[in-house]
Amino acid sequence: MQLQLSEKISQKDKLPDKINYVAGVDVAYVGDLAVGAVAVLDYTSLELLEFQTAICKVRVPYIPTLLSFREMSPTVACIQKLKLQPDVFLVDGQGVAHPYRCGFASHLGLAIGKPAIGVAKSCLFGRPLDVGGFVFLFDNGQIIGAVVKTKAESKPIFVSVGHLISLKTAINIVIHCIRDNRIPEPLLLAHKIASEKRLDVQRPYSYGK
């Protein structure tokens, strides 16, 4: 399925002339429940404008390279609650820098028909090579992502195209969204929101156990 979906991915920019809203998505877990969170920020100021959460039963076990099948339901469920419509989504996961060229960011972008960017904290696939002072991820001679150093003293992050965006634009958007952390602000806030909601769910869940 991932190979079939990968053929539908567009690496051309399909963004508005002016980006107004950027979103980050993340998923946390409590037992057999998944807590999805989406945070929508003003693109210029990076101020939080809206967030939504959704809780779903986990129906797919954790299997490396198949993360999207586990996290798609809670993520789409919270995105569907949004009043504001983000112009681009930052996803805590891989895009085309994936063995089957369709990580979570690509799968989500295809599912919702919106530009999406994969932003991962570790490298899943690809060989890093320095090209003119910038490190890209290669597979079979093809660029599939980039190793982006957002803070001089921190580890890099791994950026790849999800859907409806070019790698160059994806990198520029990710760098724009950096504040005090090496992780882009939309993803930091989505992670915080998911973690806080997980604690709310965990209390009655633990009590029930």
Instruction: Return the domain boundaries, the chain.
Output: 2-9+17-203
- Helix (H) or strand (E) segment spanning residue 74: helix 67-79
How much is the pLDDT for 205?
A: 53
Q: How far apart are CA 123 and CA 101, in angstroms?
A: 14
For range 69-85, the mean pLDDT: 96
How much is the pLDDT for 200?
A: 82
Query: Is pLDDT at 39 greater than 70 in this prediction?
Result: yes
CATH number for 2-9+17-203 (one of 1.10.260.40, 3.40.50.720, 3.30.2170.10, 1.10.510.10): it is: 3.30.2170.10
Question: pTM surpassing 0.85?
Answer: yes
| Composition of the chain by helix, strand, coil, percent to 5 | 30, 30, 40
- Helix (H) or strand (E) segment spanning residue 136: strand 134-139
Quickly count: other Cβ atoms within 10 Å of residue 94's Cβ: 32
